[in-house]
Amino acid sequence: MTDRSHDRLQDPPLSARLTENAVAMADALRRNPTMLFGLVVLTVMALLAFGAPYFGLPEPMRQSPIDRLQDPSAAHWFGTDMYGRDLLSRVLHGGQISLVVGLSVAAMATSVGLVIGLVAGFNRRVDAIVMRFMDALMSIPSILLAIALVALWGSSVQNVIIALTIPEVPRVVRLVRSVVLMLRDQTFVQAAIACGTSTTRILFRHIMPNTIPPLIVQATYICAQAVIFEAYLSFVGAGTPPEIPSWGNIMAEGRMFFFQNFGIIMYPGIFLAITVFAINTFGDGLRDSLDPRMKRRI
Amino acid sequence: MFAYVVRRLLATIPIMALVAVFVFMLLHMSPGDPAVVIAGDFASVAQVEEIRTQLGLNDPLHVQFLNWAAGLFRGDLGTSIYSGLPVSRLIGQRIEPTFMLTLTTMIIAITLAIPLGVIAAWKVGTWIDRAVMTVAVLGFSLPVFVLGYALILGGSVRLGWFPVQGYTSIFTSFPGFLRHITLPALTLGLVYMALIARMTRATMLEVLNEDYVRTAYAKGLPTRKVLIKHALKNAMVPISTTIGLGLALLIGGVVVTESVFAIPGLGRLTVDAVLRTDYPVIQGVILVFSLTYVLLNLLIDLTYVLFDPRIRY
């Protein structure tokens, strides 16, 4: 019997596994109201941000100098900025950038970190070199590194995403590596090695699935942090280009006028805070339901 | 202990060397001609050429690196393209406000966070716990500048208790220093406090389940003594680690907070350098911050001895 067919015999079909996961997820959500709360808030945010073009609001970039720096009114719920642009429309559209940046950074940092961490954890020689490099990268405060990268590469959403991903990778690598090191000597891995299973197969089939739960939790924190850091980058002038509304940009532009209309900073700030708060509560909930030891205690 | 300190200090050398290589390579990893990037969109050919010569960009890469690294050993971080002043002098001029802001923030955050975390863990599940944790998660979720501007609006503009912006050196006037540092330190302190309070609560929850805590209660010690002498002392190692790792977050926050409150520190220097793509300054600031971060974390590792006599170096 080849190794491949042996695996197939043991594994239930993919569809069954997916249903099983979906049921487990629904169960976890039911038992964990804070996680459900986070997920609901996030869904609402995403609907508001990506549905913004269809709400019949003024164009986020349409200037109307005569209406500038207005207080909230029936026509402009959040008031207007220094160019007379509708703040509500800008804040809702701005959510698109923040959510895209947050999700992309989380997805990229975890996938790159996962591959490097798996290899480093399993191969001592690679480990020695890679981890020294990661230590060095971790010694540079992440925002400074991201600021320097965007300053050199130029402002674009893509550059912001890459610049925020690079400093996060070493932390993911460390996490994955620690799980791999722990599992490497466990019986089921030793058994797989004894059966002559290829290293790639052991890594991706037997070890990787065990790294996923802590990794998902880590991904939520990376996502939350990336949303804040996007705002920091835009604020210091090394972020999303000014012609694209993002929460960071709107607040950065509003700082000159915060005496006249604090709403320019406050409204995007509140939206950002709610979003990050929701991601963090969702992450906390996930951690509690994925880590049974934590759940019992809290 | 002394041997351990020396060994750890020596171990930071290769890490800092790699950081230096990395910081050096940043400029060369950028797409296109570094001289053009630095000169900006409106520079003439002659200006680009001047920058190229000034930074020695015509030399082969390894020669450039060796020249630059040799300079680092002499404390020469290069010359600012914008002001023409040595980067080390620019950093020296700006370091005091940043140092004082970081120190004040740490004092405020740690003195608030640890008691809050301990109380939350002690009263776990009650409204006190929930309130502390909500503030902690909120502190994580709010960008520092939103809180900063809100505090300026409330504390300076409405109430008039604090100056709106600016900085007074502690050596010039202590009351003036306090008036200027309070709002920025509170702003920055909330984020840092959130981090430490969460960690304190989590570790305390773990420690409070230990047998020796039960024993301490059983032999009739007052709660305060059990919490502080038995539980907190054992929880201090992970808490100090978090304080150390959180410094990276704090340094990032300093950059933004200094812009909000117009404090002439390293953060402002960085932001100005970014706007002018003054690359030698950016390089210098990153190196200084990274070195500080690494050394402070080493210092924190050494404090473990204070909390846990089992740890011997």
- Domain parsing of chain A, residue ranges: 64-295
Between residues B160 and A135, which one has the greater pLDDT? A135
> Which of A52-61, A270-279, B133-142, B155-164 tops mean pLDDT?
A270-279
Best probe of the A interface among B145, B241, B278, by most A CBs < 10 A, is: B145
Inter-chain contact B256–A259, Cβ cutoff 8 Å? no
d(C-alpha B10, C-alpha B4), whole Å? 10
In this complex, the residue of A136, A232, A262 whose CB is nearest that of residue B15 is A136
Give the best residue of A45, A91, A133, A139 to mutate against chain B (max B CB count within 10 A): A139
Question: Per-residue pLDDT tens for A163-218?
Answer: 999 999 999 998 898 888 888 888 888 888 888 888 888 888 888 888 888 888 88
pLDDT at B302: 81
| Residues in chain A within 8 Å Cβ distance of B132 | none
Residue A288 has pLDDT above 70, yes or no: yes
Burial degree of B75 (CB within 10 A; 0-12, 13-18, 19+): exposed
Tens-digit pLDDT profile for residues B19-61: 888 888 887 776 667 777 777 767 777 777 777 777 777 777 7
pLDDT of residue A260 exceeding 80, the answer is no
B286 vs A144, A265, A273: nearest CB? A144
The arithmetic mean of pLDDT across residues A126-148, rounded, is 87
Residue A144 to residue B285, Cβ atoms within 8 A: yes
Mutation to test the B interface, candidates A152, A250, A271, A274, most B Cβ within 10 Å: A152
Give the model's pLDDT for residue B32. Answer: 65
When CB atoms are compared, the residue of B153, B270, B279 closest to A144 is B270
Look at A139 and B138 and tell me if their CB atoms are within 8 Å: no
Task: Tell me whether residues B137 and A281 touch, CB distance under 8 A.
Answer: yes
pLDDT of A143 > 50? The answer is yes
CA distance A293 to chain B (A): 11
What pLDDT is attached to residue A168?
92
Q: For residue A221, give the chain B residue with the closest CA.
A: B140
**B294–A139 CB contact, under 8 Å:** yes
Which of residues 53 through 112 in chain B touch A, CB cutoff 8 A? Answer: none
CB-based contacts of A72, cutoff 8 Å, min separation 6:
A78, A79, A263
Overall CATH class of domain A64-295:
mainly alpha
Q: What is the mean pLDDT of residues B135-146?
A: 82
State how far the Cα of A132 lies from the Cα of B277, in Å rounded to an integer. Answer: 29
pLDDT of A102 over the 90 cut: yes
In this predicted structure, the answer to whether residue A2 has a pLDDT above a threshold of 50 is: no
B5 token code pair: 């300190």
Give residue B31's pLDDT.
65
Tell me whether residues A140 and B286 touch, CB distance under 8 A.
yes
What CA–CA distance (Å, rounded) separates B194 from B136?
4
Region A4-33: mean pLDDT is: 67
pTM: 0.84
Instruction: Tell me if chain A has a CB within 8 Å of the CB of B40.
Output: no
**pLDDT value at residue A296:** 39
For range A93-97, the mean pLDDT: 87
Q: What tokens does B93 get?
A: 């001029």
Distance of CA A297 to CAs A38, A246, B125, B247, Å? Answer: 21, 40, 11, 29
Domain ranges for chain B, please list them.
Answer: 2-87, 91-307
**CATH architecture of structural domain B91-307:** Orthogonal Bundle (1.10)
Q: Which residues contact A231 (CB under 8 A, 6 or more apart)?
A: A98, A239, A246, A247, A248, A251, A272, B143, B145
| pLDDT, mean over chain B | 82
- Cβ-Cβ pairs closer than 8 A, A with B, add up to 147
Question: What integer pLDDT is reported at residue A62 of this predicted model?
Answer: 66
